[in-house]
Structure 1
Amino acid sequence: MTHIKMKSGDFTFTARLDEEGTPETSKWFLKQLPFKISVIQAAWSGPAFFTDLNWIGFDVPFEKATSYPLPGQVIMYPGDERGNSGEIYIPYGGNCFACPRGQLAGNPFLIITEGVEQLEVFGRKVRWEGAQEIAFEKVE
């Protein structure tokens, strides 16, 4: 079982990689490590923060895709031919994953197992203070 540490300032989260349920997304993600992203507040879906992937995951297939991720699930949206370039998306409240063009679905490839109770506090920080960097690294 692979664990990932997610760190942003004073916030640290530990997540379990769902290699069985999302094998292709997990392989893609492990190739990105160490991985740093800047997240911003989501505008269409509910309490969440996200980053644009700029097409780097476009070849990842949909696996166990959901439009209703739960707080503590980190999802990867590979992108589509309509111009959506893909996202890493992290909800901290009730959600229906969407964009201006309509409902989306993403692969829930990470499950936060430690620190999930701090997601809402971190989400409020993103909402009120702006973009925040998150670093992802494999826990050895």
Structure 2
Amino acid sequence: MTTLAITAGPFRFLGVLNEAQCPLTCAKIREALPFDGQAIHVRWSGEAVWAPLGDLDFGVPYEDATCHPAPGQFLLFPGGKGKVSETEILLAYGPCSFASKAGPLAGNPFATIVSGLDKLKELGPMTLWKGAQTLKIELAEGATQAD
């Protein structure tokens, strides 16, 4: 099991890659780590933050894609150039129905937060009312799911 260290705004979380569920997506995400970006509040999806990635193409198909991620679940929308919406990472912090101005979207659930879930309810409103927050996802060195 691959453990991730996630920093979103002032909060730290531990997560795991969902390698059995989305093996191709997780392999590409691992190659892209560490990820440093900005999370902004979603516009159409409910209680979630997202990191827009523009035309970045991970070259992955849909894997067990969902429109309704659970709180603490990360999705990768493998959009890219010429697609209905841009590539993005979404993190749900509450009820969420993943969508864009073009309508419903589905994303690959590549990771799940396993430690610090209680802080997600603070991250969401902070991002909504105070603006973009830093988002860093990296491999957790020496961390386990029990940490």
Shorter-chain TM-score range: over 0.9
- Deviation, structure 1 residue 49: 0.5
Corresponding position of 1:14: 14
CA distance in 2, matches of 1:69, 1:75: 7
How many residues end up aligned between the 2 structures? Answer: 140
Structure 2: stretches of 5+ with no match in the other structure = 142-147
Deviations 1:62-118 (A, max 9, x none): 101000101010010000634412110011111110011100000011010001111
Corresponding position of 1:27? 27
Letter matched to residue 87 of structure 1: E
- Return the TM-score normalized by structure 2: 0.90
Q: Distance in 1 between matches of 2:9 and 2:132?
A: 12
Counterpart position of 2:63: 63
Q: Structure 1 residues 126-135 or 3-12, which shifts more?
A: 3-12
Listed as ranges, the gaps of 5+ residues in structure 1 are none
Partner of 2:144: none
1:6–1:15 CA contact under 8 A, matched in 2: yes
User: CA distance change for structure 1 residues 13 and 111 in 2, over 3 Å: closer, same or farther?
Assistant: same
Deviation at 1:38, TM superposition (A): 0.2
Rounded Cα–Cα distance in structure 2 between residues aligned with 1:60 and 1:37: 20
Structure 1 runs (4+) greater than 3 angstroms displaced: 80-83
Contact 1:55–1:78 (CA under 8 A) maintained in structure 2: no
Aligned to 2:132: 131
TM-score w.r.t. the length of structure 1 is 0.95
Residue range with higher mean Cα deviation, 82-91 or 97-106? 82-91
- 3-state DSSP of counterpart to 1:63: coil
RMSD: 1.2
Post-superposition Cα deviations, 1:27-61, rounded to whole Å, max 9, x if no partner, equal 11111111111011101010111011122235111
In the alignment, is residue 92 of structure 1 matched against residue 97 of structure 2? no
Provide the C-alpha distance between the structure 2 equivalents of 1:57 and 1:89, rounded to a whole number of angstroms: 16
